[in-house]
Amino acid sequence: MEDSTSTIEMLYERAEQYTKTSIELLKLQTVDKTADVVSSLFSQIIVSVVFVVVCLLVNIGLSFWIGELLGKVYYGFFAVSGLYLILVIILYKFRVSLLKTPIRDLIIVKMLNKN
């Protein structure tokens, strides 16, 4: 009787230890995946900010150049703004397929990546 009681106690202790270890592993995996997703998004944000600054400077130069060609500097800014208005309308029309779906898929792939 005593032998079966100690076996049950040992089995219970092992099950308890297994559960604690599984929970700890799940926590570590969650931290790893979260850190991977956040670092990927942060690096993409940094690259995007640099790209936006470069585009801004190119657009200012392009606006001045077009303005010189048209005779008035502000005409160049209106022309470039008109192009961006067209771009915004296109992006708004196709925002789900061009923006939402790829970003969602990127996050899902990062979260489910088994490295």
Are the beta carbons of 64 and 79 closer than 8 angstroms?
no
Give me the chain's average pLDDT, please.
Answer: 89
- For the whole model, what pTM was predicted? 0.59
Q: How far apart are CA 21 and CA 56, in angstroms?
A: 52
> Which domain, by its residues, includes 95?
2-112
Could you tell me how far CA 96 lies from the centroid of its own chain? 15
Residue 98 has a pLDDT of 85
Residue 40 has a pLDDT of 83
Residue 114 has a pLDDT of 65
For residue range 72-101, what is the model confidence (pLDDT) as tens digits?
A: 999 999 999 999 999 999 999 998 888 888
Q: Which long-range contacts (CB under 8 A, 24 or more apart) does 98-102 make?
A: none
For residue range 22-75, what is the model confidence (pLDDT) as tens digits?
A: 999 999 988 888 888 888 889 989 999 999 999 999 999 999 999 999 999 999
Q: How far apart are CA 79 and CA 72, in angstroms?
A: 11
Specify the DSSP class assigned to residue 113: -
Could you tell me how far CA 93 lies from the centroid of its own chain? 22
The residue-averaged pLDDT of 14-20 equals 93
Quote the Cα angle for 47-28-36, to 5°: 10
What domain count does the chain have? 1
